[in-house]
Amino acid sequence: MSDLEATEQLAAISNYTAQKLAGDATGHGIDHINRVVTNAKMLLAEEPSADYLITLSSAYLHDVIDDKLVSDVSSAQRDVENFLRGIEFDPDQVQAVMFIINNMSFSKTLTDDQQPLPLEGQIVQDADRLDAIGAIGITRAIYYGGHHSEKIYDPNIAPRTNMTKSEYRNLKNETIINHFYEKLLKLPESMNTPVAKKIAKGRQKTMTTFLEDFKAEWNGLS
């Protein structure tokens, strides 16, 4: 396959994703997708053995089958598979992309059937998780929580631990601030690639500083 063909396929995938997520109001719109793709390209430069097309295709498509965003996951999966076949992905490529986007989410780590990711999946997972932390991550967490009418904070509600996926998805038992402790602050230590680990350290500091300032202001101490 020529570079031109891959470029045309990625352009088609980008357009497909933009259409699927056009109405998003949760922080998972095309701006998020484009940042994840940019992150993935950065990480690919340091991991040249990874398949470029599979990695970036997965980066573009990772949210279009997410069960927190679509009501019928099976239908969304079939649609993606048909779309990829329509732009001349071979069966192995379709399988590779689908495996990555079905196994890279944080919620998957809360199930009994988590599967190890190939290098391409590790890169996409890191790229996505980098966009969930730091200044952008703070903004997206508040935006998502507001969309779902979550309580901002309650010091009497402790962050949840040892959650199942079902418990994690129950936003009635979560506050926006607790989401940092239940998920976001755990992401830096879960990064796969050296570059992502390094970037995540700085973004972790941004989040911990925010939480310290938030709680101080909440209590009228600053």
| CATH assignment of the domain containing 14 | 1.10.3210.50
pLDDT per residue as tens digits for the range 191-205: 999 999 999 999 999
* Structure token digits, residue 178: 């607790």
Answer yes or no: is pLDDT of 73 > 80: yes
Taking the CA atoms of residue 165, residue 166, residue 172 and residue 177 in that order, the dihedral angle to the nearest 10 degrees is: -10
Average pLDDT on 155-161 reads 95
Average model confidence (pLDDT) for the chain? 96
Report the number of secondary-structure helices (H) and strands (E) in the chain. Answer: 10, 0
Amino acid symbol at 2: S
Average pLDDT on 126-149 reads 98
Domain coverage including residue 64: 3-218
pLDDT (0 to 100) of residue 75: 98
Is residue 2 very low, low, confident or very high in pLDDT (cuts 50, 70, 90)? low
pLDDT (0 to 100) of residue 114: 83
pTM: 0.95
Interior angle at CA 60, CA 56 and CA 63, nearest 5? 135
Average pLDDT on 41-69 reads 97
Domain count, the chain: 1
